Structures are given as C-alpha cells and as structure tokens.
Amino acid sequence: MRNRIFLPCALLAALLPGLAGAEPVTIRAADNEMTAAFGNVPKPVPLNEMITLQLTLSHSGAPVEAKSVEITGQRLYSKNGLPTAPSISATGQPGGWRIEGLRFHISGPWRLTLRITSATGVSEIVLPLEVK
Amino acid sequence: MCFAANGIESARGPGRFALWTPTLLAAAALALAPALGQKAPEPEWSEAELEIIATLTLDKLPPPPPDPSNKYAEDPKAADFGHRLFFDLRFSSNGKVGCVTCHDPEKSFTDGKRFSQGVGVTPRNAPTVIGAAWNFWFLWDGRADNHWAQALAAFENPLEHNMSRQDIVRVLREHADLRRDYETVFGTLPALEDADGVNRAFANIGKALAAYQRHLRPGQSKFDRYAQAILAGREPAPKDQFTLDEREGLHVFISDQRGKCLRCHNGPLFTNQHFHNIGVNGRQGEEHEAGRLKGIETARASPFNCSGQYSDAQPQQCLELRFARRATPELLGAFKTPTLRNLIKTAPYMRDGSQRTIHDVTWHYRDRPAARTGASELENFTITGAEFEQIDAFLRTLEGGIDAPARYLRAPHAQGQ
C-alpha cells in the first residue's frame, strides 16, 4: 500500500519541475501559537519567476479561520521590497491559503512576512527565503 | 623545511639558494606581470562567484517566452511582414519616420541620440529592442504590458510617428503591397468606418512587429566565452582572456557588498525587468515625470493590454497585469532597468540620454545625484574610483552583437514592390 502512495507522488514530482525542488516548511509565530505550514517552498527560490505558495494556518494545533492575511516582502541588506503585488486568498480547505503572483527580482536573502488577523488577534509569520 | 614569504627562513643544507631563487623569481614575475603588459595568473573564483557567473551567461537564456496575447508571435509570415513594417517610412505623418529611425540595426537598434527624433523630438533616449521578447514590461515607464502594444504606442505618439490608428489602416489600404502583405497574414482589411475592425487591424500591425522582433537576441560576448570556459574548468581562448581590470570589474559587479550591480542587473540579459528610481532626472522641464507610477495605470487602461479584447490571451494568462504593483511610493520616478548587453553602440545612456559614456554611467552611481521626483534607491558604495573604472572595463566585455537572421538586420526589398 505504501508503495502505491509513494509512486504517484514521485511521478508527480518528476512531472512538475517546480515542485521537484520544493520542500515543506513550517514556521511558528513569535507568539508561539500561530503556525504556518507551507507545503511547497522552492529551494532555492528561482530568480524572476512567478511562483505560488500554499500554506495552512493553525493555532494551538487547530486550523485557523483567519479574517485576513497580508503579505509583505523585504530583500535583506537593501531597500527593496516585492516587485509584484501578490494576491492571497483562502483555498476553502480548513486554514488553507494560497499566495499567487510572488516574484523575487533580486537574488539573496529575503524575508516574507504574513500578518494574520484572526479571532485570537494579530500574528506575524516570517518565512526566510534564499533566492538564486 | 619551511619557506617564509619574506625569505628569511629557508631549507637547510646544500642547494638552499637553488631552492630560493625560483621562488623569488616567481614572486617577482607575479608582481611585475601587469606592468609588463602580461596577463596576471587567473585569480581563483569562489564557488559562490562561479555560481553567480553561471546565471549571467547567454546559454542560460531560454527561448523567448510564449506570448499568449499574440497568436502570431511564432508565425514566420507575420515576422516577415513585421520586418517590412519595421523599415517602412509610410506609417508616419511626414513619410520620413519608421521604427528603424529610432531603432537602427547599425547602432544595436538604438539611434545614438540623446533624445530620439521622430516627427518631433521626444523626451526619451531610445532603448534597444534586442532581447525585448524577454521583457515583462515595455517602454521606459512600463506603460505597455506586451510587446505588440509597445509598437502601437509609438505610432500614435505625436512626437514619434504621429499617426492615428485609422491613418495606419488607410496606409495599408492605399498601398497594394502593404494590403497584399497584411491580408496574407491577417485576412481582409477592415473599412475605415469599422472602428472595432480598425482597432483589430492596428493591433495586428503591432503583433507582426513583435513577431519580427522576437528574432532579435543578443549575441555571444567575450564575457560569455570567458565564463563558459572558467565554468568548464578550462583556460579561455587567448582572445577571450580577461584583463586584470575586466576580471576585477566582474568581481566588483557581482559582489553584493561592493558593486551591488546584480540587484538590478541580473540574469543573462543583465536586467531584473523591474522599475527603479536612481536619480535620473529627465529633460529640463520634465523632472517631475511619474514614471512607473503613472505607467502602470496607462497599461491597465489600455484597450491593447493583455486582458483587452484585441489580445489573444485568456485573462488568467495575464499574470504581469494581474499582479502588477500599483500606487506605492517607490514607483514614483521609477523607470525600467535596461539591459547592459551591447552598450558600446548604444550610447548615450539612461532614459534621458544624460550619460554620454559608460564611464559617465558608472560615475552617476558614484555621485548618486538626488532624485527630483520620488526618492533615489542608490546606496552609498564602498568602492573606489579605480573599481568603478574596472566595472566600466567589465561592461565592455558584454559586447556581443546581434544573434538574428542576417536578412532581418537590413531593410527588406524596396518599398512598393
């Protein structure tokens, strides 16, 4: 049974180059209760290509129905922010969000910050990325 | 045995001078080689630097990306028609201006002027169209979101071609050769009273021009050949050997602590395709140009954008338009980052042609003039004047000419045939 599950996943990874170099990343907010689990963060993030990230937000282990999620990005050691205005929308899955239209136009270290407003208040999740 | 750099310590025993002499001679040769006009031994490039260099070579440039907004983009007949249109002077109010007027193949598809001259004098220095097929946005302020819309803007600009779209269709109708060539690709020309038909024919002219320009790509340069050699671990050919200044210039260029050039000038075309304010202040009286801040709104409002009715794309394919940044302070006075390939024939430089030489360009970054509109992004550089000169030397190694079918670099058969 396990092989039947793994084989399609391996085929999927081989057929979808963007996912082949991606890995799941989980980040906890400073308040230690809000968590963002990113399912497919490219490693490294490609320079100047539009990418989509999917994530699941949870609070104290349970999916969060966030009221809003705002996203900003900053290239470290420079004044540069994101060159595009990515959209972030709920996927309809519990705690599920999709970020579309992300692009990084300068290589190097970036910080992607999600500001999440939910019934429990406002949390910030910072996702570090390396763009090459 | 231990050989100290100052030669104090030495091997004991007989023959110690025989051991010292070649060492001293080698050290002397190393120090004197530049003065003697010889190439110094290759400094070692770090793994990180080689990784960066690999991203800059032309063999990393993929084929032109698909343009879903232009179904004729890969059509050879459309490209041939676009080639004829590019050199044709009949699409101007005075019969003397064509695309070639400001985009001359002999000058790497620029015109050598500070401010380009069409029917009138424009406030802009003409950028090259070599490699334009890879652009995300078009024109200095990005007011066109696709390649064919860029051409249309020039036709209707009163300082450039000074034509209305009806004028364009009238010229097509009145000249048998143009009518024949248009209808071969696009079908029957519309009547002048058919406003939608005229718009569509106008868009088609742009699409043919874009199809032609997709064939214009930068050629292999000394930098590309040098980089390919060192990445393969072999010695560059003698003519591709970098001088000390060129090598040091490349070191500084790719350093994020020193030159910081890659922040804007990255990838095989040496542009991040984005908009930056670097304190280039434009022609006198036009210092308050909004740049991209206004350009994106013009693009969004255009009937010829990717999501418009004359585009061949589905709306969900128009990602640039959909995710374009708008109404943020850093866009004020920001203009598109140009390519750094083929600079030698494309002087003067910057959107206002204010920098006459490559040296002047590097000095602009050293001097960091304040922006009169918006705020300049330029940071303080911790590099010396000599290092700015070395960047100049490196930039000249990006000269590679044009990789295009030879017939596309000259005028087609005489007009009217």
In 3-state terms, chain A is what percent helix, strand and coil (to 5)? 15, 55, 35
What pLDDT digit, counting tens, does each position of B56-77 carry? 999 999 999 999 999 999 999 9
A105 touching chain B per CB within 8 A: yes
Give the pLDDT confidence score for residue A6 in this predicted structure.
38
Is the pLDDT at B26 greater than 60? The verdict is: no
Q: Bridge partners of B299?
A: none
Bridge partner residues of A115 (DSSP):
A70, A124
* B282: confidence class by pLDDT, cuts 50, 70, 90: confident
pLDDT number for residue B36: 53
**Rounded distance between C-alpha atoms, residue B86 and residue A110, angstroms:** 42
- Categorize the per-residue pLDDT at B42 as very low, low, confident or very high, splitting at 50, 70 and 90: low
The pLDDT > 90 percentage for chain B reads 85
The DSSP call for residue B406 is: G
Residue B305 near residue B93 (C-beta atoms within 8 A): no
Contact criterion met (CB below 8 Å) for B103 and B150: no
Asked if A72 and A89 count as a contact pair (C-beta separation under 8 A), the reply is no
3-state helix, strand, coil in chain B (%, to 5): 40, 5, 55
Contact of B3 with B10, CB cutoff 8 Å: yes
Domains of chain A (ranges; CATH) run 4-54+61-125 (2.60.40)
Query: DSSP class of residue B22?
Result: H
| pLDDT of the residue at B283 | 80
Q: How far is CA B390 from the centre of its chain?
A: 21
Subunit contact A107:B274, Cβ cutoff 8 A: no
The mean per-residue pLDDT over the stretch B139-156 comes to 97
- Position B33 pLDDT exceeds 60: no
Q: What is the mean pLDDT of residues B92-98?
A: 98
Residues with pLDDT less than 70, chain A: 1-20
Cα gap B411→B408, rounded to integer Å: 7
The reply to whether B21 touches chain A by the CB within 8 Å rule is no
Torsion of CA B197, B198, B204, B205, to 10 degrees: 160
Q: Within an 8 Å CB–CB cutoff, is residue B68 touching chain A? A: no
C-beta of residue B404 within 8 angstroms of C-beta of residue B77: no
**pLDDT value, residue B16:** 45
Q: Does B256 touch chain A (CB under 8 A)?
A: yes
Residue B235 contacts residue B229 (beta carbons within 8 Å): yes
B22: number of Cβ within 10 Å: 9
Enumerate the H helices of B255-396 as residue ranges.
292-301, 319-322, 358-367, 385-395
ipTM of the complex: 0.85
User: B326-368 pLDDT, tens per residue?
Assistant: 999 999 999 999 999 999 999 999 999 999 999 999 999 999 9
Chain B contact set for A82 (CB, 8 A): 325
- The chain B residue lying nearest A106, using CA atoms, is B263
- In the prediction, which pLDDT does B350 show? 97
Q: What band does B278 get if pLDDT is binned at 50, 70 and 90? A: very high
pLDDT (tens digit, 9 = 90+) per residue, A114-132? 999 998 889 999 999 999 9
